[in-house]
Amino acid sequence: MAGIEAALTVLESLKLGDCFTYTLYANKYNCNRSTLSKRHRGVQEARTTKLANGRLLNNAQERQLVQYIHDLVGRGLPLSRPMIRN
């Protein structure tokens, strides 16, 4: 995916009104033309961004929850959903 990121960087650096074709930059940076066009116009976002926005916990919160669960198991407590939710 480095190619599409590089192409987007170049497209963002163009001045307003500069003529360009997505095909030229897609071929130059070896990425899909339609994906490049959609990302540049803001119609489509990167898969990693989309997945991160749909998560209920961020990475730090997820690590804390996993550590909490490991601590409970280490104490010999049986796990239940209400314990984990709190």
Measured at the CA of 11, the angle between CA 49 and CA 38, to 5 degrees, comes to 50
Q: What pLDDT, in 10s, does the model give residues 51-86?
A: 666 778 888 988 998 998 899 889 988 888 887 776
CA-to-CA distance for 8 and 60, rounded, in angstroms? Answer: 29
Structure tokens, 17: 């009104």
Q: What pLDDT, in 10s, does the model give residues 70-79?
A: 998 899 888 8
pTM (predicted TM-score): 0.48
Averaged pLDDT, 31-46: 82
CA dihedral 20, 24, 30, 36 (to 10 degrees): 40
